Chains A and B, each alone.
Chain A
Amino acid sequence: MSAPLSPLLEAAAARVADGGNRPAAAAALERLLATGLPTRRDEDWRYLQLAPLAALAPVAGSEAPLPELPAPLDGELRLVFVDGQLATALSSPETAWSGWRSDRSVEPLTAFGELAAAIAPAAVGLALPAGLQLAGPLHLLFLHTRAGATLSGATFALSLGRGTEATLVESHLSADGANGLATVALDLTLADGAALTHMKFQELGRGLSHLADTRVTTSRDARYKSVSLTGGALLSRDTLAVTVNGTGAHTELQALFLPGEGQTHDHHTALDQTQPDCTARQVYKSILRGNGHAIFNGKVFVRQAAQRTNADQSSKSLLLDKACRVDAKPQLEIFADDVRCTHGATVGQLDPAELFYLMSRAIPRSRAEELLLHGFAVDVLNELGQPALLERGLALLTRFSEA
């Protein structure tokens, strides 16, 4: 006899049934029930407190007013998801994008990704045809509005045709008092010569836990660049897996995560180089406050065929308070010999000599600290490129340093 399902998995099963057992959702549920939710015994989850999430008994919750939405970016195509449901009223007019609509289902990476795929009200996706140039970025806004122990899931699949270039901005925002578990699964594929710049802002309230899967598959001469800023949520876990399936491709992964008092920010990345002559660069930085907890696990695989791979990875953490906690695990698994691969990891605190120098120039301590934090984070923030996004990134850092 099998053990009774936890309230969380039971709720997921009920949502799949309510949604008329969409095949993709039913398949995701089946996989989820087969593996169950991970625990700390699983190597990939060993540093996270998952028990409270697994024990969640989801409720519908009461609605709160929408949070303030960021001003539209120049020429943006906006899709808004409210508690997982695509809100057409808040999104760009359907005529602007319905021609590219795709129903490709996502392939999640983790059990929480499967959960997202199971409970997502609908599969949403776009397939941008070869050579298309969008007028502005594609902006996905995931909003969370419900108070109480809520459960939401959303999925989004994006396919870029040959030579298509696009910018994807992903924003996660919540109303005051919203709480519960928010899951999301993205699946991005890049055809030959396509280029995608993917920027993610996770600015959820402290009541929410954010578990996100992002699967990226790239082809010959494709360029994928990810810049991920993590500021919010009680517990935030990003699982990002990039599989490079073509020669000459370039991958860049950057992140800045800022766990403050009571927060845990976890970034797991896996970069799988399967073809020769590819380059990759990865920079993950965290600044911690209070008893904030940062986790970084970065895997780089260089398969036997992937000769002449050039891959760098660096992870840096800055600990501002005594009770901060960092767990870093950069990993290299290399099966090809003609490669150049490096990784580096550092953990440290603000240099007292640097602070002293600035203070001796009559800069107050708080301002001196802010300057140093800014200096630490600036190379990741600069990757945001557009002034409006850079401003948003800087505001996130300022909020953190003033907290």
Chain B
Amino acid sequence: METLESVIAADYKHGFVTDIEADTFPPGLSEDTIRALSAKKNEPEWMLEYRLKAFRHWLTLVEPHWQNVTYETPDYQGISYYSAPKQKPVLDSIDAVDPELLATFERLGISLSEQKRIMNVAVDAVFDSVSVVTTHKEKLGEVGVIFCSISEALQEHPELVRQYLGSVVPYTDNFFAALNAAVFTDGSFVYIPKGVTCPMDLSTYFRINAANTGQFERTLIIADEGSFVNYLEGCTAPQRDENQLHAATVELIAHERATINYSTVQNWYAGDAEGKGGIYNFVTKRGKCAGRASKISWTQVEVGSAVTWKYPSCILAGDESVGEFYSVALTRDKMQADTGTKMIHLGKNTRSTIISKGISAGESHNSYRGLVRVAPGADNARNYSQCDSMLVGDRCSANTFPYLEVRNNTATIEHEATTTRLGADQLFYLASRGIDQEKAISMLVNGFCEQVFNKLPLEFSVEAVKLLELKLEGSVG
């Protein structure tokens, strides 16, 4: 087993810092900061008003502490609320991007230029607080798909942003949603018009680079009647000793017969083996199946962040609407994750599926927390939930907190949870068949997570498998 222990130190390969000149606000948060931020982004008056209302509401809230994690409360006045690469004139083409920035994204394996064109994925890259480049705009424009940064959308399509922003996650929703509404700097905006199947997958890549900043991005995706879109999201951050806050808000709206598939591979820096540093990932993600027979599917692979606190949810308002949640959450060292979903059944004949796989290693804490609520009017609602936990080592914990709230007798709700371990005996069995240790671990983990990986787009699926293998190396003994 010693060989296993020796491979434990799988380093965080995204932990480098890029030396780019940045335009950064001094730390601190006040109405003036928000005014300055809004002015900098040349926002319409109503947007500033919205931010200020959110900020004033945020001041009345207390940070929630019911989740099963412990962390040092961030100093909200010690964070810089705006940081942008300095060279930020309008970018028409890839060539205009700072070469150092491009190199950063190349190192991350996110090629903004040729590769992605071949792979047919449009990318919006967000560096610290601002979107630096969005590819494939023209091709998307031909079918009427709008894919741009949310700052740009505020300039070009203010009516759409105004109609939908805060319609799924109002700023009154929770502490971090209020903070995000007040200070969000950028993020992606997607609008798929009626009847359009988006001709390529859309992808956003988030990177925190500057020290002492928080990232507050805002994503808004609207799928109009009968449309379809696959959306992928990835994130990394440099290795730093202090904790950095990431409080994003994502809102999805699916109209009649529209489908949104939202996939995330979250690999923020998780701190070192002693739990020093790392990102606090406090995110509010929610989708609304507004129209009949609409569908929202969340797939997430969570392998990073010091502390994760995230519940991608579906409000199933339309009759016959469908919500799905597929999740793999891996924690190791001193990471803590409290993640899951909420399925709120409001319409008739609505269905939801929850598949959650938690893997805990080291001294980490991994909790699944999920709510299934069936409202009195939601006739014939159907939910199936399965939460499996795998423990690797005897110093970690795996917790399951499902909440079932049923107000209608025609509902059929099933919840199952199991806990097992990745043990020496399984590895021994595979070893006796001539399969080496690394391969054996990857086989067992892949088997455990298969139901979720199957839901990821191919490129992401490959990345996810690699990530898990890398993170689990040496944890088994």
Q: A interface vs B, CB < 8 Å?
A: 43, 288, 304, 307, 317, 319-349
Contacts and interface: CB of A to CB of B under 8 A. Distances in A.
A148 B413 CA distance: 41
Given A322-B409, A328-B404, A334 B398 contact: yes
A183 to B, nearest CB: 27
B398 A346 contact: no
Contacts of B76: none
Nearest to A43: B66
Contacts of B416: 342-344
Given A338-B421, A339-B419, A329 B412 contact: no
B391 A337 contact: yes
Interface of B: 66, 376, 389, 391-421, 423
A337 B394 contact: yes
B297 to A, nearest CB: 23
A364 to B, nearest CB: 22
A325 B413 CA distance: 13
A337 B393 contact: yes
A376 to B, nearest CB: 14
Nearest to B391: A337
A344 B409 contact: no
A321 B394 contact: no
Nearest to B412: A348
Given A337-B423, A344-B417, 7 more contacts: A43-B66, A324-B409, A328-B406, A329-B403, A339-B391, A342-B416, A347-B406
Contact of B419 (A320, A329, A342): A342
B399 A331 contact: yes
Most chain B CB atoms below 10 A, which of A307, A332, A336, A337:
A337
Contacts, number: 113
Contact of A348 (B400, B403, B411): B411
Given A43-B66, A338-B421, A330 B394 contact: no
A345 B414 contact: yes
30 contacts: A288-B409, A317-B406, A319-B409, A319-B411, A322-B376, A322-B409, A324-B406, A326-B404, A327-B403, A328-B406, A329-B404, A330-B402, A330-B415, A332-B398, A332-B400, A332-B417, A334-B397, A337-B391, A337-B393, A337-B396, A339-B391, A340-B419, A342-B416, A342-B418, A343-B417, A344-B416, A345-B413, A345-B415, A347-B412, A349-B409
A329 B402 CA distance: 6
A343 B423 CA distance: 21
A271 B392 CA distance: 23
A304 B397 CA distance: 9
Contact of A319 (B397, B400, B406): B406
Contacts of A334: 389, 391, 397-399, 419
A338 B423 CA distance: 8
Contacts of A317: 406
Contacts of B423: 337-338
Contact of A339 (B66, B408, B413, B421): B421
A331 B400 contact: yes
Nearest to B399: A333
A21 to B, nearest CB: 38
B409 A320 contact: yes
Given A320-B409, A337-B421, A345 B404 contact: yes
B418 to A, nearest CB: 5
Contacts of A327: 403-406
Contacts of B389: 332, 334
B100 to A, nearest CB: 45
A327 B421 CA distance: 30
Contacts of A320: 409
B280 to A, nearest CB: 22
Most chain B CB atoms below 10 A, which of A323, A324, A336:
A336
B409 A307 contact: no
Nearest to A351: B412
A324 B404 CA distance: 13
B402 A345 contact: yes
Given A307-B394, A334-B391, A346 B401 contact: no
B402 A325 contact: no
Contact of A333 (B397, B404, B415): B397
A339 B423 CA distance: 11
Q: Give the 8 A-B CB pairs with smallest separation, nearest first.
A: A319-B409, A337-B391, A347-B413, A345-B415, A328-B404, A341-B419, A326-B406, A332-B400
Contacts of B398: 332, 334
A245 B256 CA distance: 56
Contacts of B66: 43
Contacts of B421: 337-339
A339 B393 CA distance: 12
Nearest to A314: B416
A322 B408 CA distance: 6
Contacts of B394: 304, 307, 336-338
Contacts of A341: 418-419
B414 A323 contact: no
A333 to B, nearest CB: 5
Most chain A CB atoms below 10 A, which of B402, B419, B420:
B419
A355 to B, nearest CB: 14
A363 to B, nearest CB: 22
Contacts of A339: 391, 419, 421
Contacts of B393: 337
A325 to B, nearest CB: 5
B404 A340 contact: no
B420 A332 contact: no
Contacts of B420: 340
A304 B396 CA distance: 9
Contacts of A346: 412-415
Contacts of B408: 319, 322
A335 B421 CA distance: 12
A343 B409 contact: no
